[in-house]
Amino acid sequence: MKSRELDIHGGIQYSPSKDSYMQKAAFVCALALVVLSSCVGIDSDLSVRENGSGTLDLTYRVSQLIVNLGNPTDGKSVVPLPLSRSDFERSVQATQGKVRLTRFDRSEDQKDITIRAGLAFDSLDALSQMDAFQNAQIRLGADGGAHTFSELIAKAPPEPLTDDSLKMVDAFFGGYDLTFRIEAPKPITTNNLGTLSADKRVLTYKTTIGDIVRTKNDIVLSMSW
C-alpha cells in the first residue's frame, strides 16, 4: 500500500499517519485470511456419482489487488487457486490421469481476474490431492449404504480481526460472495448448512467474505445420503 491517500471504491479513505504501518500490517493480515479462506469470490458446482466420480465446475473472481500482493515471507503469490491454464494442467498432471481439465477460460478487467474451469475426476480423493484443493479437506466416507461428504469452506481466524481490519475487508470485498452447490447421486438425508432443492438432490450453501472473516469457528459443510 502506498503512502498517498487511497480512495477505496468511494468508501473509506486511509491517509498516512503515525499508525500507517500498523494499518498496513493489519490489512495484509486481513487480505491473507480472505485469500486463504476463499480466493475472494467463488461459484462452485460439484456433482458426485454413485461410484464417487464426478465433475466440478468452478468460476472464481480474484481481485487484481490480491494477485499483485506477494506473500510477505517468500514473495510468492498468495492466491491458492490456479490463475492460468498451465497452472491447472501442472496440478492435474500430478493426479496421473485421475483428474482431467475439461474447460478453461480466463478474462480480466481493471478490478478482477475471472477464471472458469471444468474438471472431471475419478474420485473425490483424487480431486483432493490437487494442490488447489488440499486445504479444502474434501472427504467422502461410507458406512454400509450411507455416504457422508464434508468440505472445509473456511478456517476461523486465529484471533478476531480488529474493527479497522474488518472495515478494510468490507470496503474492498463487499461485492464478493461464495456459493457452493453439491449434487448427490441420491436424496440428501442430513445436512448442517445450506438449503436443499425440492428433490433433495442438491445442497446449496452461500456465504460472504464478511461472514468468513467474522466467524469464530471453522466453517465445515457436511451432508449425508
Q: What is the DSSP string of 17-52?
A: -TTHHHHHHHHHHHHHHHHHHH-SEEEEEEEE-TTS
pLDDT tens for each residue of 104-134 = 999 999 888 899 999 999 999 999 988 888 8
Q: Whole domain around residue 138: which residue ranges?
A: 6-224
User: Is the residue at 1 inside a domain?
Assistant: no
Number of domains in the chain: 1
Distance of alpha carbon 61 from the chain centroid: 10
Q: What is the pLDDT of residues 58-107, one digit of tens each?
A: 998 887 776 666 544 555 555 667 888 998 898 898 899 999 999 999 99
Mean confidence (pLDDT) of the chain: 80
Report residue 3's pLDDT band, with 50, 70 and 90 as the boundaries: very low
Q: How much helix, strand and coil, in percent to the nearest 5, is found in the chain?
A: 25, 35, 35
54: its cell numbers: 464426478
Q: What is the pLDDT of residue 94?
A: 86
Q: Residue 78 has what pLDDT?
A: 59
Tell me if the pTM is above 0.85: no
- Highest mean pLDDT among 5-14, 94-103, 209-218 belongs to 94-103
137 in a domain, yes or no?
A: yes
Assess if residue 199 is contained within a domain: yes
In a domain, 52, yes or no: yes
CB 104 within 8 A of CB 117: yes
Residue 111 lies in a domain: yes
Domain membership flag for residue 58 = yes
Predicted pLDDT of residue 38: 44
Is 183 contained in some domain? yes
Is 22 inside a domain boundary?
Answer: yes
